[in-house]
C-alpha cells in the first residue's frame, strides 16, 4: 500500500492507495503547524486502527506539502514507517509534466499535482480551480504543459476577514443564496462570498481561455468549497474532490516507472 499526503494550510488529506492502484481510503485532519512527528503518528495510527488496518503494510509514500515544517515532520514519520525516504513532490524535479514557467521553485506542490491529475484525467487543455485556503487556478495548455495560473484569497479566508473587521456583520452559513440581489444582510453577505467567488472564477477563467487562444477548455473544480461554489455557476465541467491526491500518486507512479526503466 502507498500513502499520499496533501499537507495544505488548513487541512491535511491522507489517501491510501491499495494494491489495485485505486484510492481505497481517505482521511482528513486539521493542519496544525505545531504538530510533531509523534503527534502525527498518533493520529495516523488512530485512522488505521479504526478500520482494522495495519500501518506497517504501507511500503511507500509521497508528500505534497505547502507547510515546510509539517512536510518535514511527515517525512520523518513516513521514513520510519516504510524504511526509506518518501517522494517529496517538487516542481523543480521531474513530475511527468513540462513546467513552462521561469521560476518552477515557486510553484506549490499541490498545484503541480493538480495539473498532472487534471491533464491525465481530462486531457489538455484543462483548467483547475481549487477552492482551498487560497483559491488557485492552474492551467495546462494544449501541449500538456503547466503554464501557471492565479492565486487569490480563498473563500473562507475572505469570509473570516470580513467577519473579523466588519463590526456589524456576523458569520453566516456558507451557502448559495436564492438571489444575487440580497434583501437581508445575511443574503447580501452570502451573495458577495459565494456568488462573488463564482463570478470571480468565471471572469478569470474567461480571460485565461482568451489568452490561451482556445475556444473551449475543460474546467475542473476541486477543494473543500468547490461543491458550494459550483451551485452558483455552470462554469465547471466536473467537480473532482480527489484530484490532488490522485495527482500525488500519479507523480509517484511516474517516478517509479522512470526508475524501473533506468534499472532495466
Side-chain-side CA neighbours of residue 231 (13 Å): 14
DSSP 229: H
Task: Print the SS3 string covering 77-125.
Answer: HHHHHHCCCCEECCCCCCCCCCECCCCHHHCCHHHHHHHHHHHHHHCCC
Secondary structure class of 3 (helix, strand, coil): strand
Residue 250: all three cell numbers together: 500519479
DSSP 231: T
Catalytic residue among 6, 35, 60, 110: 110
Q: Please name which of 209, 210, 217, 180 lies closest in space to residue 197, comparing C-alpha atoms.
A: 180
Question: For the purposes of burial, counting CB atoms within 10 Å of the CB of 240, is it exposed (0-12), middle (13-18) or buried (19 or more)?
Answer: buried
In angstroms, the CA 78 to CA 45 distance is: 12
Residue 206: all three cell numbers together: 474567461
- Confirm whether 110 is a catalytic residue: yes
Point out the residues that are catalytic.
110
Amino acid at each position: 500500500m502507498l500513502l499520499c499526503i496533501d499537507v495544505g494550510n488548513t487541512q491535511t488529506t491522507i489517501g491510501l492507495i491499495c494494491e489495485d492502484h485505486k484510492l481505497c481510503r481517505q482521511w482528513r485532519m486539521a493542519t496544525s503547524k505545531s504538530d510533531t512527528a509523534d503527534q502525527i503518528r498518533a493520529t495516523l495510527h488512530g485512522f488505521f486502527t479504526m478500520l482494522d488496518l495495519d500501518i506497517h503494510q504501507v511500503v511507500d509514500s509521497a508528500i505534497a506539502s505547502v507547510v515546510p515544517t509539517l512536510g518535514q515532520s511527515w517525512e520523518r514519520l513516513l521514513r520510519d514507517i516504510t524504511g526509506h525516504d518518501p517522494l517529496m513532490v517538487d516542481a523543480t524535479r521531474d513530475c511527468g509534466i513540462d513546467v513552462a514557467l521561469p521560476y518552477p521553485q515557486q510553484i506549490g506542490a499541490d498545484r503541480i499535482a493538480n495539473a498532472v491529475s487534471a491533464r491525465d484525467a481530462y486531457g489538455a487543455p484543462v483548467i483547475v480551480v481549487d477552492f482551498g485556503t487560497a483559491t488557485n487556478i492552474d492551467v495546462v495548455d494544449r501541449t500538456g504543459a503547466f503554464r501557471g495560473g492565479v492565486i487569490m484569497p480563498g473563500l473562507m479566508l475572505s469570509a473570516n476577514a470580513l467577519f473579523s473587521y466588519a463590526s456589524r456583520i456576523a458569520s453566516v452559513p456558507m451557502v448559495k443564496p436564492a438571489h444575487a440581489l440580497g434583501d437581508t444582510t445575511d443574503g447580501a453577505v452570502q451573495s458577495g462570498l459565494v456568488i462573488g467567488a463564482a463570478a470571480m472564477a468565471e471572469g478569470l477563467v474567461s480571460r485565461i481561455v482568451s489568452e490561451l487562444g482556445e475556444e473551449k477548455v475543460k474546467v475542473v473544480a476541486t477543494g473543500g468549497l468547490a461543491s458550494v461554489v459550483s451551485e452558483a455557476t455552470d462554469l465547471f465541467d466536473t467537480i473532482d474532490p480527489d484530484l490532488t491526491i490522485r495527482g500525488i500518486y500519479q507523480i509517484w507512479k511516474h517516478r517509479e516507472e522512470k526508475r524501473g526503466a533506468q534499472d532495466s
